Amino acid sequence: PALAANANAEARNTHSDLKKKDCKALYAIQAVVDTTNFDRIYDAETAKEAWDILVKYRDGGEKVKAVKLQSLRRQYELLQME
């Protein structure tokens, strides 16, 4: 979250530490993804935002998950029939 204008020294230090950790996490995510995924997350401001983008493209939304599950169930049923 944003730092309040009248924050004390402890709050500023905590905010600075959290921002450093977020930048390190974002760097780690960007360092390990391939170029296709990097193009999707290069403009992400936070590690959480980058992670959510990757999850969305990797797993898909709820509808995509439902369709995948339905497909797997159908394959299982066909396997039982054989």
What pLDDT tens digit does each residue of the chain (82 aa) get?
Answer: 777 788 888 888 988 999 999 999 999 999 999 998 899 999 999 999 999 998 888 777 777 778 888 999 999 988 877 6
d(CA 21, CA 25): 6
**Cβ neighbours for 22, distance < 8 A, ≥ 6 positions apart:** 46, 47, 48
Give residue limits of the domains in the chain.
Answer: 9-81
The 8-class DSSP code of residue 1 comes to: -
The model carries a pTM of 0.66
